[in-house]
Chain A
């Protein structure tokens, strides 16, 4: 169940009223004051959306300016008010987007959400340097008002505009160049030790840049995901998905050269040279979630690419096979070898089973599909098969399961091809329905068993009867214990009826 948010307005029309008090053509001092009063009241009711809170402090400062008398009163307090309004607006917009472990620069986040760079500079000056001039601050506040108009009010009042709003840019720079740079550095590092000393700083820089890229991706993900209310998980997942795509493209985890891809003889894992290059990177990034994302991406790719239409650029079957085999080796390595410090064998086997069942399930269905469509039976998913074999090698139980299941599926393919033809002709039999019913009942009885008891419980414990002195009795005692002057208990006979909290229905 999705919980709603509290908002200060009863209807959007009330927000629209505030909007017109501030932004309409004939907005003057009195309408500004109305807006200030309304926003102050709202602010006391509940924590305001940041945009409205900023608007309130801007409006109050503007009102302060109207009583400012140059030469008589000091400009300092006015400048401080302006500065505070701007600082808090920028901070409040940027802070929620600090999604990483380490702080990102404010200007980079501001750029991503389309906040003018000079407001960020103004914020910096107002915080750390000489307090800016009144003129500059006035301009800054004007800019803030415009930004709020386009980025908060318009999209909120008219949700259809939401996506047209220039709020957060979707664009995310590609990660590939970063990965290439990293790969180049690590290669030269591997070649001679001298380079290691020279390039260590460079490697750190690239890794940091990659982290920065992930942080940007999280923010872009905030926008790609309409459901950002769910917290940061979808953003994080979105960002990791983009990273996985970049990592699994040819030229990253899987090198372009086919010779460098194949696992060494007798090993299920990628060649040591590849591991040497990429493990530092993987370990530097968020390990647990990345591994999960990466292995599910690998499985998805292994299962999808057997479809010729899926990757038209891939005309060479051998090339694809070698790519898939290398992916499979990575997949096996991720499951079996890449452990976090605290992980036990149980974790690994849980992970292994997870991947295993995905693979087996998909392979079985694809076999069956092929049988029914009459496609060639030869399994053309070498990667998936290889990964399956690698997983089975570490767990005999899984090996048995896969042997049984796949054999049956393969046997079935032959039979199924015939059956499917037959079934098409076979007339519908009334007894089939009975069989299905019986199965359904069996299934329900399984599902019901653990749940029945709580349901009974609900039935046998009806709402408790109000005890002596309880609310119920006080209602019936209404005549005996008269309520004080000015109090009365409404009932439905007074014309009152249940309605959402906040709605007033007068009693007769």
Chain B
């Protein structure tokens, strides 16, 4: 975030120095200044050896050209590690030792042509057909659509958001095969993540299940083996998030220069080449090998024990991407898949800070911030890593594992609730995918081992290349699949993603859980980013009526005395928790310092809320939460941890500099630099060297 701003500043500086230079020169200067920034600051994530370092904000790229690979610098003063901070708290890692890096499958492209993202070339009424509203309805979409006829192995990519249905043949999308069905998938393809490439797989004789779906005028242009998909615009409002978290501004916008064939689809932009830092999603061979392995072959089904797939590895190795693929692949065989999130820094379905158990029914095509979901069950840990409360973290996971084992794995009690005769997927077994945290050192090793013991995986997917120590592979132990780590995203930091995911949550519009069937997935598919948080009408809680307890958890929480609680809560991020523990008697105080967080065995975290205001005596709290009120009926405990609302969420994005109109002084925010020495929070650098180390 800041590095992007610094880079922009540097560019402006550069421009100032040479205001009247030729236009083409400007381009050069910017590129140059950017690559130099990389050299001397390293903040632009020097793990970037994919070579795609072209500045995305360059407006005047005339022709796509690959940037030179940026040489990694062993050290840079700006590569700091912040200690227990909100915007870079991946302090678990030791920057001294770099993560192992492997040649990637697309590395050879670095110095050559930009990667080709679409081999398909649209030609109206030959292989691309605009469908009228009626035709759209006839193929199961809600309005006008575009049908594409793809020759086998053709690829087509879009940046943006779109709805997708496969009519004939099948496609390979984000590591998963999508077969023809009635299901309309939602695809979110911001260029902040690798772009999904739709690859046509030959329709092997399987004439589409319902050929009547394909309008006749299209059918005449379909050859044997061709694949037919229909696309429709997807208006979700998710692009509005870019106005809030400005680092992600325009990630759903067209990246292409003019003059390429266009497919008429609002909000999705046909993309042929990997320009401007765009990266395509590629499944590397080691991933494909691991994925095509045993857990997905039908032989494993003879074993009636449900599959439990555990994903582990260092941060930035691609755990979350892999877990998503695992879920998507399982969904083609199971009606429902359970997902246990143990990575509380960057969670897949929930905002960070909580361990959560989710039920997934539809494949997920998009990065985590595009599918915030109300969890089946969750427990609030209150930080983006479990360092402050490792045993509470483990208890919370244990509680979720118990829930899975008791209620979900053989979902017998739910069978038959909704019956879809068309669906031949397995209903009565729900497999589990477990994503673990990236803290793989020190205490993290111990925690990871304990999690492994709790979930008892049938398969372990690991990015750790060192062979397991000691006893080797046990005959009846889990199958272990080793994968190469993926390339980390060069442009956005973990803190950026965390901020986006939290604000995506707060602006999401969730479905009303009381109208959903049991176990139905409650994923938001709409975002309302029309108002900043500060302008949204809050709920007002009369604290002694609405709440049983307020709990503070985290280092130093015990030292907050009762009179100071009001101060601490203003602007705090809290979890809304339901607790089966006996409610407070009238004589008891709402807050007692040192109260432990609710026991995960008897409680459940319903969602997060922002305390946007507190009355001076603490009797009234004003809360903002995206969780529908129907789901909050039992929320009688507030838990405040160490998570904080990112600065982006405090700002009013409708004004230029984020300051709110109508308020002279914005509390808790300070523009400009701290004047005194020691006015900044402590910075910890772990990569400093001594002369003697040379």
Contact = CB atoms under 8 A, between A and B. Distances in A.
Interface of A: 1-11, 37-38, 40-51, 53-54, 92-93, 95-96, 98-103, 113, 148, 151-156, 159, 161-162, 165, 167-168, 208, 218, 226-233, 236, 286, 288-289, 292, 296, 340-342, 344, 346-347, 350-351, 353-354, 357-358, 361, 365, 449-451, 453-454, 457, 460-461, 463-464, 466-474, 481, 483-492, 496, 498-507
B90 to A, nearest CB: 15
B512 interface: yes
Interface stretch (B147-155, B278-286, B560-568): B560-568
B246 interface: yes
Contacts of B241: none
A490 B675 CA distance: 39
B424 interface: no
Interface stretch (B358-366, B407-415, B436-444, B661-669): B661-669
A467 B512 CA distance: 10
Contacts of A154: 676
Nearest to B74: A101
B690 to A, nearest CB: 5
B535 interface: yes
Contact of B539 (A8, A161, A208, A487): A487
A153 B676 contact: yes
Interface of B: 1-3, 5-6, 9-10, 17-18, 20-22, 25, 28-29, 31-32, 36-37, 39-41, 43, 59-60, 68-69, 71, 75, 77-78, 83-86, 235-237, 239-240, 246, 250, 253-254, 257-258, 266-267, 509-512, 515, 525-531, 533-547, 552, 554, 556-557, 559-561, 563-565, 567-568, 570-572, 610, 612-616, 620, 622, 626, 628-630, 632-633, 644-645, 647-652, 656-658, 660, 662-663, 665-685, 688-691
A341 B69 CA distance: 13
Contact of B1 (A3, A41, A292, A487): A3
Given A233-B37, A464-B526, A486-B543, A51 B667 contact: no
Given A51-B678, A457-B239, 9 more contacts: A4-B670, A102-B688, A226-B673, A229-B672, A232-B77, A463-B240, A467-B525, A489-B539, A502-B667
Contact of B75 (A101, A289, A341, A464): A101
B14 to A, nearest CB: 9
Nearest to B644: A46
Nearest to B673: A229
Nearest to A288: B39
B629 A353 contact: no
Residue among A152, A340, A464 with the most chain B CB within 10 A?
A: A464
Contacts of B59: 450-451
A365 B10 CA distance: 25
Contacts of A292: 36
B534 A505 contact: no
B626 to A, nearest CB: 7
Contacts of B616: 504
A464 B671 contact: no
A10 B536 CA distance: 21
B25 to A, nearest CB: 5
A485 B77 contact: no
B10 to A, nearest CB: 7
Contacts of B679: 49-51, 152, 156
A46 B83 CA distance: 12
Contacts of B510: 469-471
A7 B526 contact: no
A233 B565 CA distance: 40
Contact of B678 (A38, A152, A486, A491): A152
A208 B542 CA distance: 65
Contact of A4 (B614, B628, B644, B671): B671
A455 B83 CA distance: 41
